[in-house]
Amino acid sequence: MSSRHAAAIAGSLVAASFSAVLLLSLPAGADDTGPGSAEGGKVVEEAPAGVKLTTLLPERISVDNASEKTAITATVKNEGTEDSGKIRTLVVGFDGLTVKNVEGCTALAKKDLPEGSNSGFSCPIGNLAAGASKSYAVDATFDLSKTGKICLPVQTGDGKKTFWQQGPVPFGTANPSPNAPATPLLLGTDNSPAAPSGDELPRTGVGRDLLPLGATGVSLLVAGTAGLWWARRRPES
């Protein structure tokens, strides 16, 4: 075998080995959240002419079983042909899902949270141009021994009118993975925690249909698995 031929073979083997290392070093497959979903979303009050506001949540999230931390992307879209005018969105957690932070947003005071919720943030959007969208990075925790829900209403900037609301919509799984590093949860699925007597989930929150939101001037009406944020002025004392 000539030295040139031997060198060519050696070069090929090195290249093949390098390619194998590259393939092995790539992630085995990160969770694919899939496209955003408007599941559990409803029009509440009529938006201005030419404005069509909606929200999107990931179809799947992953909860770290050790820290209970998870990340959610909440998106507000204007699918209409006209600018929205000044609007805002709220990000509210219920039951086992607690919203810890929303980038660029302000935590709601406890008195401004709807009964039954445990956390919430107000996100001023301003004017959302026709065809535009705005996304928010939501840091949250999820107690996998409970159900967990999230709610995204889209309102006028002063919160007196609600155009659209997604949720409270659940994240959950029917196949918990207590021994895995993380548990994937699906949007629109009630959580079934792994427990010896997991037939009955812990009941949290209140059982009443009307959940006042306090000083923000909005209340939550639960209807089935989804609720509607109705604009309402608080009576002056």
For residue range 60-84, what is the model confidence (pLDDT) as tens digits?
Answer: 999 999 999 999 999 999 999 999 9
Residue bearing the bigger pLDDT, 132 or 115: 132
pLDDT at residue 236, as a whole number: 43
* Residue 155 and residue 87 in contact, taking contact as beta carbons nearer than 8 Å: yes
pLDDT digits (tens, 9 = 90+) for 196-233: 544 444 444 443 333 344 444 344 433 333 345 433 43
pLDDT at residue 115, as a whole number: 79
Domain ranges in the chain are: 32-194+205-231
Confidence label for 13 from pLDDT (cuts 50, 70 and 90) = very low
Q: Which of 12-26, 97-111, 173-187, 215-229 has the lowest mean pLDDT?
A: 12-26
CA torsion, ordered 156, 164, 171, 190, to nearest 10 deg? 130
Residue among 160, 140, 129 at smallest CA distance from 74: 140
Select 32-194+205-231's CATH number: 2.40.30.10, 2.70.98.90, 2.60.40.10, 2.40.50.100: 2.60.40.10
pTM summary value: 0.73
